A and B are shown apart, each in its own frame.
Chain A
């Protein structure tokens, strides 16, 4: 089956720094989604990407759908303490089945 490799597994940064994380797949997807999960909560959708090469922003967050359709990255600019959480990528090829990455744990030191 499809597998997603998400990296890094964890990041420790200072407030104000920029963050970059990515996901790569062994096969293509038609949709890439990025979610954030706070402790004790469910994942919340941040950005959805539908076309290869698409670059989409949501405030300080920017995500891109790789041109090969096998990868995606998420950037967070000027991080703040409330950015702390686990960030998940998810790919979708057909139907509504999502394949999730293992997550990137982000810690922001004030």
Chain B
């Protein structure tokens, strides 16, 4: 596997279910991100991890719970979601957290989540 991978690619869940999204990056990067992409809206940054430590949490509801066990893996645990949480959830990674040249973010293919 190369780049950033995400599983599952599609997920349908009820509001009472508990599920997890998985992201893995094979680029040797130190920073990982979760984004939410809804139709006709800009990408919304949810969480940022640097060297397995959460450094940013953008007022995301507690029904979304991230986990970063190591610099290559990132999870998003979901429980008691609402229908409006249906969206494409994208994972990204970058070489490091600090901005600057050659520190672009690379995205995975996303998980299409539908909450019934």
Please determine whether A31 and B112 come into contact, CB atoms closer than 8 angstroms: no
| B interface majority secondary structure | loop
Total contacts A to B, CB within 8 angstroms?
A: 66
Residue of A nearest to B41 (CB): A102
Residue of A nearest to B42 (CB): A100
A96 at the interface (CB under 8 A from B): yes
| A interface majority secondary structure | loop
Please determine whether B94 and A42 come into contact, CB atoms closer than 8 angstroms: no
A45 and B97 contact, Cβ closer than 8 Å, known pairs A101-B42, A102-B42: no
Which of A33, A41, A88, A96 lies in contact with B98, CB distance below 8 A? A96
Residue of A nearest to B91 (CB): A42
**B-side contacts of A50, CB under 8 Å:** 101
Please determine whether A4 and B109 come into contact, CB atoms closer than 8 angstroms: no
**A-side contacts of B97, CB under 8 Å:** 95-96
